[in-house]
A and B are shown apart, each in its own frame.
Chain A
Amino acid sequence: MALLAALIVFALIAPVFGPPDKIYANGISAHGLPLPFGSADHLLGTDSVGRDMLARLAYGGRTTLEFTFISNITSIGLGAIVGIAAGFLGGVIEMVLMRITEIFLSVPTVISGLALASVLGQGVFGVVVVVTALYWAWTARVVYGETLALRKRPFVEAAIAQGVPSATIMRRHILPHLSSLLFVIAALNGAAVVAIGAGLSYLGAGVQPPTPEWGAMVNDGQNALQYMPHEVLEPLICIILTVLAFVLIGEGIARRGAVSLRRSWLDI
């Protein structure tokens, strides 16, 4: 939680570090190379056109955190609803929903992503919709599998036998058991969402330059991996910290939640 707060604060105070798109005359060395980590004027170095990495990272955080949060919530929300409904209700609903899921899993990312983006336009909104469209199916598939297992648990069967409405069972009995799984998925998807966002930028459909964005910064820096690794490492560390924050929050919830008063019977 503290980690996430720190990242958000870092993004919020971005203007302190100066403009993200200013190209500094001294931002490139005499050999035409970016400045490395720890340079006097640019603490985190510069990128390949001579812009301050620190400012770009801070501003990039705004964009990246924004679309990562939103699209994680939307894609997991949709995926969880579909997965639980299909797994719990079964029958025709299950068949239809899971086949739709398969369709979404089969259409190649580049095509569906670009097609959607060309309809929706560029920018954060487009990225959110595309990521949601691409990732809900994956979540649904995993949640569906878990729900199937949960459905046969005694407490669920007991609730069904008592005639508790399906919606209530799904909400009260199934969803809580899935909460830690959903956070795991959120953490796992977090990195992928950033990568998809960067991929879309590369294909001309995501966030547009010079707006900084961590994923795109990693992409841009990959050419410099051998001689100026800071161009990749710095945004990468930011992404890792974000994903880590998700993981830790997920664990925190799991520890606190009633469901996960877990212990291993093996260790008794």
Chain B
Amino acid sequence: MELDEHRDGEGSAGLTRRGLLQAAGLGAGALYLAGCGGTSQKLVSNSKQVKVASGIPGPPAVGGRRGGQITIGWEAEGNSMDPVIGYNLTSWDALCNCITAPPLVFGASGDGPYPNAAEHITASEHNSAYTVRFRPGVRFQHGRAVTAADYVYSWERVLDPKLASWASSYLYPIEGAEEVFKGKAKSIKGVKVVDPMTVRIQLHEPDLTFPNILAQPYMAAVPREVVQRYGKDFPHHVVSTGPFMLSNYNSAAQTCVFTANRKYLWSGLPYIDKVNYRWGASAQTELLQLEHGNIQSIGEGIGASLVPQVSAQPSLQKFVVRFPLPAVLWIGLNCKRAPFTDVRVRQALNYAVNRSQLGRVTYGTGEPWGLPFPKTLPGFPRKATQYPYDPARAKSLLRAAGAEKLSFTLTSTTQDPYPNIAQVLQQQFRAVGVQMSIDTVSSNAYNTATENKNFTAAPTEWYQVQPTALDILTSNYTTGASSNYWNYSDHRVDALANDALQAPTTSRSNAYLAQAEVLIARDAPGIFLEALNFVDGRSPDLENFHYNVFYGTYYDRLWT
């Protein structure tokens, strides 16, 4: 199947740990195309205020004060500040909101993508080739002007087999990209420099979603001379085009500092002078530090087990903001393992779950959601209906399947909020005569078990990084998809995924996806539980605070 050829590795390994979430993906974005910009602002001429460029994509960016600094607390160190290597939450935040300015960017609620370091992008008639014109006057943080050749170099770098970037497979839709990754070619055949500021990208086949890739941090330009000068140390001396430049990385002291890039392509931004990262403190300590003013934001947000503290302590409430994410949590069921080979058993368990009771032990980090695709998807014409709580129906389905005395094991981890969810589910299933035992294993053992499909049931999460349901679909539910640990396979779903990818417009694409969701919901390769929220802890003194559902906090336009 054509779809699988290049989709086979899209995404992988259930984006489980909140700390390990995020990575880029593909998907049908909106039909934005040439010059269709984001929110545009008038040039402010108030002399007291900073002059800010017009046409900045995303939330409002005018009216701020220059100066000051903020400190973000993290639990884990970033895995790398190299745009093609970084994937964990700390790195992702730094890459998206400080270091890089990719050609396109998504809007705050996942809309777009809109032109950013690219001035505009034009699709060929069937979305099988794209012409990208880069914005003139964009400079690297060290001063040199960026040209089309820099992008060609940077994209080849994503495919460099020596770097083994996780993002490499996302470029496979481009003609000749896979050959570069496999070491068979030095340059990408499908990427042609048309003039110093323009490239033409030829794809293997129509792909409506390709521009979403151009809105990922690994597609931003990095200067060849800096990469070569620092070699292995490049991640600690990274230079790109974003609003803040990495000026100091101190692994031993568990801190790094980003200073404002005054050559940023959106002149006037950023307002603040410095963004400090500090990692290695526990979540509880971070909450105290936030309240105390030592840090201005908790990078990973407030986890389910700490949210009740906010309910108990009213003075904390002003520090907390909730954002619905295009993300879901469910129990994946291994469709090739008894007792889940029978679709009726899988459906029965979906009816047996009281999702609102479950919501009470995840404290607003999730809300009841009985469907496979995320709740918030822009312009998604949802057709599937959620599984209601219906224990009687669950019992009759189990009876019909001859599985009145059902028992199975849930392979889980101690990752928040899995233990609570597992224990509440255990109770709820007992009410319909199902015995679920919980096997808690280390996160590494969990990864091994799911990857080898050596489990019966396992809790999992998926955080989309693009606005289309193709992201979750082609990673989790198409035949042989790399995160399809559920052994789920339905040729109609595969066909719909392919149709959605090659559809001429976003609305057509979404219509196919809505049909696919109906099929997946009915086949129930999982017990669908929650739509996830990001519960952010941040100082109320931060002005013009905005959050992007894919990238995180907009540091470039906030002020103190």
Contacts and interface: CB of A to CB of B under 8 A. Distances in A.
Task: Note whether A and B contact each other (Cβ less than 8 A).
Answer: yes
Interface of A: 21-23, 25, 28, 31-34, 48-50, 114, 118, 122, 201-205, 208-210, 220, 222-228
A22 B442 CA distance: 26
A23 B423 contact: yes
A49 B439 CA distance: 18
A88 B541 CA distance: 68
Interface residues of B, number: 28
Nearest to B359: A32
A122 B311 CA distance: 36
A201 B440 CA distance: 8
B101 to A, nearest CB: 38
Interface stretch (B172-180, B412-420, B468-476, B504-512): B412-420
Contact of A22 (B284, B312, B413, B427): B427
B420 A48 contact: yes
B13 interface: no
B360 interface: yes
B388 interface: no
A49 B308 contact: no
A209 B309 contact: no
Nearest to B442: A204
A227 B308 CA distance: 9
Nearest to B310: A227
The 5 residue pairs across chains A and B that have the minimum distance between CB atoms = A227-B312, A204-B441, A223-B305, A204-B440, A31-B311
B420 A49 contact: yes
A98 B533 CA distance: 54
B313 interface: yes
B414 A202 contact: yes
16 contacts: A23-B424, A31-B312, A33-B311, A34-B308, A48-B305, A49-B420, A49-B423, A122-B439, A203-B442, A204-B413, A205-B442, A208-B440, A209-B422, A222-B284, A225-B284, A227-B313
B438 interface: yes
A184 B440 CA distance: 34
A208 B438 contact: yes
B309 A223 contact: yes
Interface string B418-454: 0110111011000000000111111001000000000
A48 B313 CA distance: 16
B380 interface: no
A160 B423 CA distance: 61
Majority DSSP secondary structure for residues of A touching B: loop
B363 interface: yes
Contacts of B437: 208
Interface string B310-322: 0111000000000
Interface of B: 284, 305-306, 308-309, 311-313, 357, 360-361, 363, 413-414, 419-420, 422-424, 426-427, 437-442, 445
Contacts of A114: 442
Given A48-B420, A204-B413, A224-B309, 9 more contacts: A34-B308, A50-B361, A118-B445, A201-B440, A203-B442, A204-B442, A205-B442, A224-B308, A227-B313
A201 B439 CA distance: 11
Contacts of B363: 32
Nearest to A202: B414
A224 B437 CA distance: 26
B421 to A, nearest CB: 9
Nearest to B411: A204
Nearest to A225: B284
A53 B426 CA distance: 18
A223 B311 contact: no
Given A28-B360, A32-B311, A204-B414, A209 B423 contact: yes
A33 B312 contact: yes
Nearest to A29: B311
Contacts of A49: 361, 420, 423-424
Given A23-B427, A201-B440, A228 B312 contact: yes
A208 B284 CA distance: 25
Contacts of B424: 23, 49
B436 to A, nearest CB: 11
Contacts of B441: 204
Contact of B309 (A118, A204, A227): A227
A122 B424 CA distance: 21
B414 A33 contact: no
Nearest to B446: A204
